[in-house]
Amino acid sequence: MSKLVYSVGLNDVKGGYKLPSYRRWTKMLERCYKKNNGALVCNEWLAFSRFNQWYNFKAKQLASVGYDIEQLVMDKDLLAIDGLVYSPQTCVFLPPAINTFLSNCQPKKSRDKAKEFGLPQGVCIEHTAKQKPYRIKTIGRSKQTIIYFSTPEDAYCYRLHLRCKELERLLLTYKKLLKQQCAYGKLAQLTHLENMMNYETLQRLCLEAQDI
């Protein structure tokens, strides 16, 4: 019997380690069972043959709209509520730009200064600035700009507004790719300010629950 990968995964495909899908599979197992980030792989995908079958199907599906699956990021968070399980039902392939955008909706454990000072996500305080001490960084593609506000609420609302506008641009750019995977509608909902705020809140709560 073949040696299990990270004590859980079975490579049941002859010469499977040579396939691009094998690298994706082992990285997925590593994140879940070596780095122990709280996520799991569904039972079906613990067998490489089943993951490989799904991966090849997705590769052909995405190629039909002009995308190389090797240039995309496999995401488990967008379609699921808690983003804790890798499965055919929860995973889609996203361009790096959208994956980064969604990652920025999650608070960073090691740099969550906003939480330390009781501030909304993405808002910082500059104690030397008296009239407008609360600041955010814009999401410019070429450079970052710092904008100051009188209240943390104003800063957070404007940050959400900028993020919604940025997401609208990304949706327009990658519309075909997202619709092919039934992921367009879920992202389009986040272009509304309240939905974006609720999504970020949910991401924070899920992260805090993992720390308990």
| Mean local confidence (pLDDT), 53-69 | 98
| Mean local confidence (pLDDT), 30-37 | 87
| Mean local confidence (pLDDT), 3-13 | 94
Query: pLDDT over 70 for what percent of the chain?
Result: 88
pLDDT above 50: residue 110: no
| Mean pLDDT value across the chain | 88
Express each pLDDT in 166-200 by its tens digit.
999 999 999 999 999 999 999 999 999 999 999 88
Answer whether 122's CB lies under 8 Å from 156's CB: yes
d(CA 67, CA 149): 41
- What's the pLDDT score for residue 47? 97
| Mean local confidence (pLDDT), 127-145 | 78
Which residue did the predictor score with more confidence, 36 or 61?
A: 61
pLDDT above 90: residue 121: no
Task: Name every residue whose Cβ is closer than 8 Å to that of residue 25 and which is 6 or more positions away in sequence.
Answer: 5, 9, 45, 48, 51, 52, 55
Q: What are phi and psi of 135, to 5 degrees?
A: -135, 155
Please report which confidence band the pLDDT of residue 109 belongs to, taking 50, 70 and 90 as the band edges. Answer: low
Say how far residue 91 (Cα) sits from the centre of its chain.
Answer: 11
Task: Name every residue whose Cβ is closer than 8 Å to that of residue 104 and which is 6 or more positions away in sequence.
Answer: 163
- What's the pLDDT score for residue 113? 55
pLDDT above 70: residue 104: yes
Cα–Cα distances (Å) from 18 to 21, 39, 148, in that order, read: 9, 26, 52
Task: Name every residue whose Cβ is closer than 8 Å to that of residue 1 and which is 6 or more positions away in sequence.
Answer: none
Helices 193-211 + 152-173 axis angle, to 10: 100
pLDDT above 90: residue 145: no
Other beta carbons within 10 Å of 105: 18
